[in-house]
Chains A and B, each alone.
Chain A
Amino acid sequence: MKYVDEFRDGKLARVLAAAIAREADAARSYSFMEFCGGHTHAISRYGVADLLPANVRMVHGPGCPVCVLPIGRVDMAIELALDHGVILCTYGDTLRVPASHGLSLMKAKAGVGAASDKRRGDIRMVYSSADAVRIAQENPGKEVVFLAIGFETTTPPTAVAIKQASALGLANFSVLCCHVLTPAAISNILESPEVRKYGTVPLDGFIGPAHVSTVIGSRPYEFFAEEYRKPVVIAGFEPLDVMQAILMLVRQVNEGRAVVENEFTRAVTRDGNLKAQDLVAETFELRREFEWRGLGLVPYSALKIRAHYAAFDAETRFPLRYRSVDDNRACECGAILRGVKRPQDCKLFGTVCTPDNPIGSCMVSSEGACAAHYSYGRFRVQEGDGR
């Protein structure tokens, strides 16, 4: 397949692997965090870890949209579907995120735990925000709510949906906005005591997001490189992109440099997609704080719908109240999302928590660290391989 196979070429991978092995200083180790779930998935699916020398280790970051969605937000969506009788639309993986009372959107849809058939939620998977708008048009007698999740990549399409609904004068469409911001999460990790004070999470650099950066550009990362002296290499989601980025990070570390470099020049510019940024700025504003699974309350880390579009904000349209809910006590998702622990360090991993029956959110999406490790790499646990 043209434009895809070129970025998965095994021969080139071996050339890059040899360069990384040659240039990595055997006297030290390297820990790089791939922020995005897309990179986590690529590393696991293509077996990238097998091509890296033992002293180059990848730490999975929190950039998986469904992983960081807190239980309380899923509870709100379930409440909308069950108590307010709305048609709730959302992206596929969100349906399986565990919520309170042993529920998930998928289970609420099937009527699990319900006393009567009337308690079955009308919950629909959509491929795009435009599908949710269409469903609202087709069901004028019903309220339709789009549970909008994701980082800067999925935010512009939500903005388009709101503007579209506004232009169409749709009185039955609203959005439960859970969009979050990448730079805020990176700051949170760099400021965490494990990284700053205790040094329990050695972080020598970041692989920067691919799709997020097409929207926000490479400029926002310059602050991290300067302020925290951490190199950042923005990389595409193909496995060769990841290998090339690792080589570039090794070189920066060896040369004592800490700058933002762009491996993904075929899609990312310094300024990003200005049109998308304008669209987002027009539709959304910063929340003072937002709870992330794993990271807790992070200031100015998420978006809410501007007052101008309040009619399309499910949080003003319905009497909803956010309640913070703790994760299962044995679940290590929080520590895993911060890079403090690895999936195999969690007692629940692969025992009661599996992709078919996830306890924590990292086991839900194939971009989640636990699901990726379970589905693609758990033979390493059996073989005692630390990667």
Chain B
Amino acid sequence: MSAVRPDYVRPLDLKHGRVDMTHGSGGRAMAQLIEELFARHFDNEFLRQGNDGATLPLPAGGRLVMACDGHVVSPLFFPGGDIGCLCVHGTINDVAVMGAKPLWLAASFILEEGFPLADLDRIVASMARAATEAGVLVVTGDTKVVEQGKADGVFIATTGVGVVPEGVQLSGERARPGDAILLSGTLGDHGMAIMAQRENLGFSSAIVSDTAALHGLIAAMLATGADIRVLRDPTRGGLATTLNEIARQSKAGMMLDEAMIPVNPEVAAACEFLGLDPLYVANEGKLVAIVAECDAERVLSAMREHPQGARAARIGTVLEDAHHFVQMTTGFGGRRIVDWLTGEQLPRIC
């Protein structure tokens, strides 16, 4: 005779198990996935409330910043990171470039039927590690499962909330003629790390993604008390697209100096090989800062003292220009426009 053990659930097989449709059904299997996988990695007092939403304390002073970011990167695991840490860094950076201290994250998972639970476990562990390192809590989430072929393994959308102190006012329309344009480090590492992994290219490289949370670097920059007008992380579309966005918002032009823009030699070589321009390749751990000219040197040295800004450089100046052109003096000695990205340089980069 069988002895029914009350409340017994056979543990998830995190070695050989796979996501199936029941994991998104709202039933017991979903509850188990949440408990044994998500809650185990993300555990914190707000998640432990176990409610549909997290109830959070109202921060004293300052304003709230909220940002969201969907992640569909392919491949899911790449040199220097994976979709897990990327979806934490990406959203934290969107909050941090507003001058805010990131506090909480929400995560929504779209899983494809048949996705190995071992991979999901690895991804969620990577998310948890990235969040802990950044001092951010994942306080609520959601899981959906779609039939095989209707997604590609896993898509993760994250939403971040942070607090920006009074007095900090960063915004894309604040660049003024004469301001300095600073860049925190080398261009194109993330994009080329992904590109080198794509199977149909058939070349290997030692390029590693730069995916990282930038709020520490940003805090150090803000601590100088300098008049920082704009901060932005040049992700998809690269530096060129980010600067064009700022130029349009601020109704100004820009002049860059190609010789001052840092690019790792491996990245430069891979770009050359594939006919890409590093100015248009995605970054996941770099920022561009527009700073009042009088404060430029101070901010630059603060950046260089931080490990994430060791290769920071002043790459150009904001100009008055009715056409809002971003231009560049080439290393060759000529002049050219650095235009918006046209078309699709590399799909599913983040």
- Contact residues of A with B, CB < 8 Å? 1, 4, 8-10, 13-14, 17, 44-51, 96, 126-127, 131, 239, 355-356, 371, 374-379, 382
Contacts and interface: CB of A to CB of B under 8 A. Distances in A.
Interface in B289-347: 323, 325, 327, 329-337, 339-340, 342-343
Interface stretch (B34-42, B116-124, B168-176, B264-272): B264-272
B20 to A, nearest CB: 27
Contact of A1 (B259, B269, B329, B334): B269
A50 B323 contact: no
Contacts of B259: 10
Interface string B96-116: 000000000000000000000
A56 to B, nearest CB: 14
B200 A50 contact: no
Contacts of B269: 1
A45 B200 contact: no
Top 10 nearest A-B pairs (CB, nearest first) are: A47-B334, A355-B342, A50-B334, A46-B332, A376-B336, A10-B333, A375-B339, A47-B335, A47-B336, A47-B330
Interface of B: 200-201, 259, 265, 268-269, 272, 323, 325, 327, 329-337, 339-340, 342-343
Contacts of A378: 325, 337
Contacts, number: 72
A377 B336 contact: yes
A13 B333 contact: yes
Contacts of B333: 10, 13-14, 17, 47, 50-51
Nearest to B266: A1
Contacts of A50: 333-335
Contacts of A126: 200
A366 to B, nearest CB: 8
Contacts of A375: 337, 339, 342
B201 A127 contact: yes
A382 B268 CA distance: 32
A356 B343 CA distance: 7
B245 to A, nearest CB: 15
A239 B258 CA distance: 15
21 contacts: A4-B272, A10-B259, A10-B330, A10-B333, A13-B332, A13-B333, A17-B333, A47-B333, A47-B336, A48-B334, A49-B334, A131-B200, A355-B339, A355-B342, A356-B342, A375-B339, A377-B336, A378-B337, A379-B323, A379-B337, A382-B325
